[in-house]
Amino acid sequence: MAQYSRVSGTVGLITLQNPPVNALCAAVRQGIVEMLKKALSDSKVKSVVICGQNGIFCGGADIKEFGMNMSGPPLVQVIHAIEDANKPMVAAIEGVALGGGLELALGCHYRIAHSKARLGLPEVILGLLPAAGGTQRLPRLIGVPAALDLITTGRHVIAAEALQLGIVDQVTDHKTVDAAVKLAQSVAGKPLDARRISTYPCARPSDLDALFEGEMQKVRQRARGAIAPVACVQAVQAAATLPYTQGIEREKELMVTLFTSGQARALQYLFFSQRAVSKWSTPSGARWDTSKPGPIHKVAVIGLGTMGRGITVALAQTGLSVVAVETQEKQLMGAKKAVSNMLEQGAKRRGVAPTLDKISYSPNIQAIADADLVIEAVFEDMALKKQVFQQLAAVCKPGTFLCTNTSSLDVDQLASQTRSPELVVGMHFFAPAHVMKLLEVVYGPRTSPQAVATAMELGKKMGKVSVAVGNCQGFVGNRMLKLYLEQAFFLLEEGATPELVDRALEEFGFAMGVFRMSDLSGLDVGWKVRKGLMLGETDVSSGQSARIRQGCRYSPLGDLLCEQGRFGQKTGQGWYQYDKPGGRVASSDPWLHSFLESYRAKHGLVARHIDHQEVLERCLYAMINEGFRILEEGIAAGPEDIDVIYVFGYSWPRHRGGPMFYADMVGLAKVLERLEHYQQAHPDVPYLQPCSLLRRLVASGSPPIQRWREVIKKPHSQL
C-alpha cells in the first residue's frame, strides 16, 4: 500500500498505492509509517519525496472506513512522524491533494505541485473537518482569512492559486516527481526547524474577534442547519488563539462531535450515492456496464425558450457541435443574443474562451437532418410536442436519438409518434438548465438500453448528475413534489398560513419554503399542468364538491390565486406580496390572510392550531411515502436515486441526505405510524395510505437504507 525505493542515489521515494485515488486507508497509513522508518534509517538517504501512484497524490482519508471500526495508525500521528523527521520531506503533488491528502502534504517540509493539480480541504462537504492537523497548520501557513475560506467552503484550488496563497513552494509543468527529487536534493542537509508548520505562530489580525464573529454569522446563514461549517470556524479559531498542541486537542474534540453526528453520515451517504447513480440499471435488466452509448458528434435543440437556451449553453460548453432551431424569427434573434451572453459570462467565470462558434442557429427544422441526437425543448404541451416528434421522425437521419425535455409528459406517447420508439428518451432538465446539476433521464417501456446509456453519457459530458428513472406522471421528482405541495395547500385550508409552513420548512433546512418557492417559480406553471390534467377549474359550486376532484380531496387555493392574476414574484403578488412585479423580497400579505379566512368560511372549514412538527410530517412523509411507491414500482432503482434527485434538483438540505435517507434516520416504524395517523385523520387523501413496501420494510426489522434493495420486490415493467 506504500512502496519505497531510493532514487538518484540519495533520495528516498515513498509512493502511496491505493487505486483509484490513493485514499489513506489503514494499510496505506501503516505503509507510510514503515517506509518512513526505512528512509530515515537508510544512511545513504539525505531527503525523502512522498508521491502517489498513477499521477494522483492522494484523495484523502478513506471515506469507506468512516462507517467501520477504525484500525491502523491514526493519520494525525502519521503526519506528526513526517513533520518530526530529521531529513527533508517533500510532497510531490500531482492530480489531487485533498482532505487528509493535503494534510499529509502540510506535514511535509516542502511541497511541489504540478500546474494541473487541485488541492483542497473538502471535509466540510462530508460533514467533517480536516482533523489531521489541517485546521491548525493551514492558518499558520496562509493566514486565518484564507484558511477559513478554504476550510469552510471545501473549495479546491488549482496549483497556481495554491502557490499564490503559499500552500505550495513550487509549481511545475514537467514530471512532478522528477522536479520533487531535484528539490529534495537541493534542500538535503538544510535545517528543518523553520519548515515545520506546526511550530509557526498563527498570524493574528488585529480585529480577530470581529473577524470570527462575522465569519460565524456568514457561515451559519449559509449552512442552513449544517453543523460542520460552524465546527470548522471553531477549529480555526482555536488555531488562532491556542498553542498548537491545545489546538489539535480542540480539533479532535470537534471532530468527534461531527463524526458521530447523523449529518456526517448523511453527507457521506450522498457522496457515494452521487457516484452510485451513474451505475444505473432498469427493472428489465439493462445496465450501465452492459450498455454502450451511441457516438454523438452533433446535437440539435428544438425550441429556444428559457429551457432550450439553457440546454444549448450547456451543450456548447461540452465542445459538441450544436444546431439550435427556433421557428419564430423574433424568438430566434432573442435566443442568439441570450445564449451568447450566457456563454460569455460562463467562460469569463471559468477563465476559458467562450464556445460561441460551436452553435449554428436556424429557423428551419431541416437543419437538424444530420444531428446524432436531438433534444426537443418546446413548450410543455403534449399536442405540440407530438407534432414536433412527427416532424423529427420525418427529418432526422436513421438512428438519431430523440430526446424530449419534459417535466411530466408521457415519454412513451411521444415515442409512439416515431418509427423508432427505442431511440426516444426523456431528458428532464431543471431551470436554469446550464446551471442546475440534475438531469432525470427518463426511459419508456420501449426505450433501448443504448438510448439510456447515450443520454446518461451526454448528461455526464454536460457536467450533470444524471439519474435514470422510469416513465410515469411527473417521473420521480415532480411526482413526489406534487404531494408535498398538495399537503401544504391542505394545511392552509386547515388553519396554517404560508408564513408558518415556510418557516417550518426553512428551519428544517430548505433554502425556501414551499410558498416562497412557488412564488419564485410562478404559480401559473402548476396551474397550467393542473388544467391539463382537468383539475384546475374552479367554477364548481361552493361546499365540499369544490374541494373534490376525481373522488379525492383537492385544494383549489392555487387555482383561485391564479384566477386573480396572482402568479407570484412576476406579478408582484402570490402567496406573499412584493414591492413591484419582479420584486424579490416577500412580505406578508393581509389580503391573502383575509382571502384564506373567507375561503375557510365559504367551505365550512374551522381553522385549528398547526405546529411545525405537523407541517414537516404532513409535507415530508407524504412525499416519502410516494418515494416508497416509486421504489416498489421500479421507477427508481434504489433510494439513492431519489435522494440524489431531491438534493440536486429540489434543494433538499444536503446534511439531511435526501427524503429516503431522512426516513431511515427518523425510523421507518415512526414514519409508518405517523402516516397511519394522518391517513385516519384524512381518509379522503388516498396517498397517505402507507405504501406496502414501507410496511414490508418495517415488518422485516427496518433494515438500514443500504439494504432496502434486498426487500424491494423485483418489479415487472420491461425495458
Which are the catalytic amino acids? 103, 123
User: Which residues, listed in sequence order, are joined to residue 441 by a DSSP beta bridge?
Assistant: 427, 468
* Smallest separation, CB 636 to ligand LUC3G6IP (Å): 19
- Looking at residues 132 to 161 of the shown chain, list those that interact with ligand LUC3G6IP (rule: CB under 6 A): 132
* Smallest separation, CB 26 to ligand LUC3G6IP (Å): 11
Q: Is 21 a binder of ligand LUC3G6IP (CB under 6 A)?
A: yes
- Looking at residues 237 to 256 of the shown chain, list those that interact with ligand LUC3G6IP (rule: CB under 6 A): 255-256
Sole binder of ligand LUC3G6IP in the list 20, 398, 590, 604 (CB under 6 A):
20
Which window, 130-138, 539-547, 620-628, 631-639, contacts ligand LUC3G6IP (CB under 6 A)? 130-138
Which window, 96-104, 344-352, 557-565, 608-616, contacts ligand LUC3G6IP (CB under 6 A)? 96-104
Q: How far apart are CA 466 and CA 453, in angstroms?
A: 11
Phi and psi for 168 in degrees, rounded to 5? -115, 160
Nearest residue (CB) to ligand LUC3G6IP, 73 versus 432: 73
Q: How far apart are CA 654 and CA 644, in angstroms?
A: 9
Binding mask 274-293 for ligand LUC3G6IP (x = CB under 6 A): -x------------------
CA distances from 46 to 14, 168, 184, 341 (A): 14, 21, 8, 56
Cα 198 to chain centroid, rounded = 35
* Smallest separation, CB 449 to ligand LUC3G6IP (Å): 20
Handedness of CA 599, 604, 607, 612 (dihedral sign): negative
Tell me which residue of 496, 700, 469 sits closest to 612, measured CA to CA.
496
Residues in the chain: 719
Q: How far apart are CA 389 and CA 302, in angstroms?
A: 10
- Tell me the CA end-to-end span of the chain in Å, nearest whole number: 43
Which window, 128-136, 324-332, 448-456, 694-702, contacts ligand LUC3G6IP (CB under 6 A)? 128-136
SS3 per residue for 603-634:
CCCCCCCCCHHHHHHHHHHHHHHHHHHHHHCC
Binding mask 53-92 for ligand LUC3G6IP (x = CB under 6 A): ------xxxxxx----------x-----------------
* Smallest separation, CB 321 to ligand LUC3G6IP (Å): 26
Cα 18 to chain centroid, rounded = 26
Q: Is 174 a binder of ligand LUC3G6IP (CB under 6 A)?
A: no
Alpha helical stretches, state H, 552-621: 557-563, 590-602, 612-616
* Smallest separation, CB 112 to ligand LUC3G6IP (Å): 19
* Smallest separation, CB 237 to ligand LUC3G6IP (Å): 18
Which window, 126-134, 401-409, 420-428, 513-521, contacts ligand LUC3G6IP (CB under 6 A)? 126-134
Nearest residue (CB) to ligand LUC3G6IP, 348 versus 709: 709
Q: Is 131 a binder of ligand LUC3G6IP (CB under 6 A)?
A: yes
* Smallest separation, CB 519 to ligand LUC3G6IP (Å): 36
Q: Is 16 a binder of ligand LUC3G6IP (CB under 6 A)?
A: no
* Smallest separation, CB 655 to ligand LUC3G6IP (Å): 15
* Smallest separation, CB 172 to ligand LUC3G6IP (Å): 20
Which window, 98-106, 209-217, 410-418, 543-551, contacts ligand LUC3G6IP (CB under 6 A)? 98-106
Which window, 18-26, 86-94, 195-203, 524-532, contacts ligand LUC3G6IP (CB under 6 A)? 18-26
- Looking at residues 204 to 223 of the shown chain, list those that interact with ligand LUC3G6IP (rule: CB under 6 A): none
Sole binder of ligand LUC3G6IP in the list 13, 39, 126, 415 (CB under 6 A):
126
Q: CA dihedral defined by 680, 681, 687, 689, rounded to 10 degrees?
A: -20
Handedness of CA 345, 347, 353, 359 (dihedral sign): negative
Q: Is 130 a binder of ligand LUC3G6IP (CB under 6 A)?
A: yes
User: Is residue 107 within 8 Å of residue 133, measured between CB atoms?
Assistant: yes
- Looking at residues 469 to 528 of the shown chain, list those that interact with ligand LUC3G6IP (rule: CB under 6 A): none
- In this structure, the number of other CB atoms found within 10 A of the CB of residue 178 comes to 14
Give the count of residues interacting with ligand LUC3G6IP (CB under 6 A). Answer: 26
Handedness of CA 668, 673, 676, 678 (dihedral sign): negative
Q: Which residue is nearest to ligand LUC3G6IP (CB)?
A: 99
* DSSP per-residue codes, 275-320: HHTTS-B-TTS-BTTT-PPPP-SEEEEE--SHHHHHHHHHHHTTT-
Nearest residue (CB) to ligand LUC3G6IP, 101 versus 658: 101
* Smallest separation, CB 546 to ligand LUC3G6IP (Å): 52
Kind and range of the H or E run holding 100 = helix 100-107
User: Is residue 422 within 8 Å of residue 448, measured between CB atoms?
Assistant: yes
Q: How far apart are CA 226 and CA 222, in angstroms?
A: 9
Q: Is 380 a binder of ligand LUC3G6IP (CB under 6 A)?
A: no
Which window, 125-133, 294-302, 410-418, 527-535, contacts ligand LUC3G6IP (CB under 6 A)? 125-133
Q: How far apart are CA 675 and CA 690, in angstroms?
A: 6
Q: How far apart are CA 293 and CA 455, in angstroms?
A: 8
Helix, strand, or coil here: 3? strand
Nearest residue (CB) to ligand LUC3G6IP, 288 versus 578: 288
SS3 per residue for 478-511:
HHHHHHHHHHHHHHHHHCCCHHHHHHHHHHHCCC
Nearest residue (CB) to ligand LUC3G6IP, 100 versus 477: 100
Measured at the alpha carbon of residue 607, what is the angle toward residues 601 and 608, in degrees to the nearest 5? 165
Q: How far apart are CA 315 and CA 299, in angstroms?
A: 8
* Smallest separation, CB 110 to ligand LUC3G6IP (Å): 21
Q: Is 117 a binder of ligand LUC3G6IP (CB under 6 A)?
A: no
Sole binder of ligand LUC3G6IP in the list 99, 107, 459, 690 (CB under 6 A):
99
Interface residue list for ligand LUC3G6IP (CB under 6 A): 20-21, 23, 59-64, 75, 96, 98-100, 122-123, 126, 128, 130-132, 255-256, 259, 272, 275
